[in-house]
Chain A
Amino acid sequence: MTRHSKRFSASRLQDVLVLALLVVLATALIAVIVLVVLVMIGGAPK
């Protein structure tokens, strides 16, 4: 039995794209949290 390597490689472009996606999702998370707080204090547009 041979242990299979869990490692993978990625190009520079893939690195940039994945990190950009993570940043977009993290920004969306912050936006959702801010909007929840705004709704709580009644500041969200209706």
Chain B
Amino acid sequence: MHYISILSTIVTFIFTAAVLQRYRRKGGVHLLLWGIGLIFYGLGTLTEVILGFTFNGLALRLWYLSGAMLTAAWLGQGSVNLLVRRARISQSLNVVLVLISLAALGLVLAAPLTSTAAGYQVDMPASEQYKEILIRSDGMVLLTVLLNIYGTLALVGGALYSAFLFWRKKVILNRVVGNILIAAGALLPASAGTFVQAGLVDWLYISEFFGVILMYMGFVQAIAPLPAPAGRSLVYNDSD
């Protein structure tokens, strides 16, 4: 499964660059937050690649922190900033997420590794072995679940809500399509934890790959300029 994680990492960082470049040109906190979320996504897949070649305690901790705890929450926070019109609410939630993320970092760094780490097998998925190696406190597990529920609801729910609004108003068809692709893509890795728990450990890597591909396609589709009718110039106020 190494090669899938390598492909996922490459696609994710290309996607990240596109989002951050758009943020640099147009601004918008939601783009910055999505960019940070995608950096976590890429760190998760990159550490998977490392763990596919050798065991490293820091890589395992980074893998868990970025992939299991922070990615969904930061991506979802981007959607919250896009959809919640009251700046005070979204800014407060941003501060809360930063504080919780720092707490998550502390918990992960403090989590002890067991002696099982010595028997880590690089040809087996990290998702199949990490529970015996990384001792997670109840608080850490609870935080992981809450961050994922919040992030998934915000990202997928936000994309579906946007798609529904655009469709109902019958405006900007490419944003309907883009948001549906983003929702479908985000659902794939969001379901990975459950499938891993059910024994389908490879699903994590497959879902990460197809998930980021679909989200990238959705992003490209959503920001695509409207086609100008023949013989006319186009003025399209793209406010995101």
Contacts and interface: CB of A to CB of B under 8 A. Distances in A.
Instruction: Say whether A and B bind each other.
Output: yes
Contacts of A9: 170
Q: Find the residue from A8, A18, A21, A26 having the highest chain B CB count within 10 A.
A: A8
B170 A25 contact: no
B137 interface: no
Interface residues of B, number: 37
Interface residues on A, range: 20 to 34
A29 B194 contact: no
Dominant SS at the A interface? Answer: helix
Given A7-B171, A21-B180, A22-B180, A2 B194 contact: no
Contacts, number: 87
B193 A4 contact: no
Interface string A21-45: 1100110110011011111100011
Contacts of A40: 141-142, 145
Nearest to B175: A6
A22 B170 contact: no
A36 B167 contact: no
A44 B194 contact: yes
Contacts of B149: 33, 36-37
B172 interface: yes
Interface of B: 141-142, 145, 148-149, 152-153, 156-157, 160, 163-164, 167, 170-173, 176, 180, 183-184, 187, 190-191, 193-194, 197-199, 226, 228-229, 232-236
Interface of A: 1-4, 6-10, 18-19, 21-22, 25-26, 28-29, 32-33, 35-40, 44-46
